[in-house]
Amino acid sequence: MKIVIANNTHAKYAQIICDTIEESAKVRGTGIARRTPEYILTKMENGNAIIALEGETFAGFCYIEIWGHEKFVANSGLIVHPDFRNRGLAKDIKKAVFDHSRKKYPDAKIFGITTGLAVMKINYELGYQPVTFSELTTDESFWKGCQTCKNYDILTRTERKMCLCTGMLYDPAKKVKPKEKSRLNDKAFTRLKSIKQTLFFKKEKATTGVKTQK
């Protein structure tokens, strides 16, 4: 398995990357910001992506987005092809794109928003901390990217204060030593996600006038 910085020689994988991301979102039943092959290709050409290959076969991918004049960067679109899951590959790709981000943009805060507990755990091990959305970038282009997510109405309804996603941030000015990091509380995050879903679902019911049976 090779995990490398992607470039324009990997352009042939752009379509399968987009397809794999979209299919994964359908299986999980979660929202996701859609990306086009053209968008993925620009990330490859700019050296802002990591790709995993087994021989010539696509295995996984993640890319870097830049916001606020390089004050913030996000490691987005993490995906592992179904044929290569349950091998720890997602963690290896996330670590590679995180290290690449730190080297290329050393002063930038690295952030992400996700509904996936597995991604939260990986981020936490890298030094990310859960934060409110107000601590993330205010760049309008980033939030516009959420428009293709099926939960976008929740984000707008709360005036971008919260959504089903959890915000996580790595601040290079506040480095967390491994020995100082406590274990991520899986149950707490799972419960938080459940509370959010229940809260927003009830609000949606009330808005549409649909009554729930007792």
**Sequence spans of domains, the chain:** 2-207
Contact 42, 77 (CB under 8 A): no
Residue 179: the pLDDT is 42
What value does the mean pLDDT take over residues 173-193? 60
Task: Identify whether the C-beta of residue 136 lies closer than 8 Å to the C-beta of residue 112.
Answer: no
Q: Has residue 139 got a pLDDT over 60?
A: yes
Q: What is the pLDDT of residue 202?
A: 52
Q: How far is CA 105 from CA 34, 193, 213, in A?
A: 25, 31, 53
Tokens 């992506």 -> residue: 49
Q: Rounded CA gap, 120 and 8, in Å? A: 30
Average pLDDT value for the chain:
83
Model pLDDT for residues 96-135, shown as the tens digit of each residue? 999 999 999 999 999 988 877 888 888 989 999 988 888 9
Assess contact for 43 and 16: CB atoms under 8 A. Answer: no
Q: What is the CA radius of gyration of the chain?
A: 18
For residue 137, with 0-12 CB atoms within 10 Å meaning exposed, 13-18 middle and 19 or more buried, which class applies? buried
Domain at 2-207, CATH class: alpha beta
- At 126, the amino acid letter reads L
Q: So what's the pLDDT on residue 211? A: 42
| Under 8 Å between Cβ of 186 and 121 | yes
pLDDT at 106: 95
Mean pLDDT of 144-169: 83
Query: Cα–Cα distance between 127 and 123 in angstroms, integer?
Result: 7
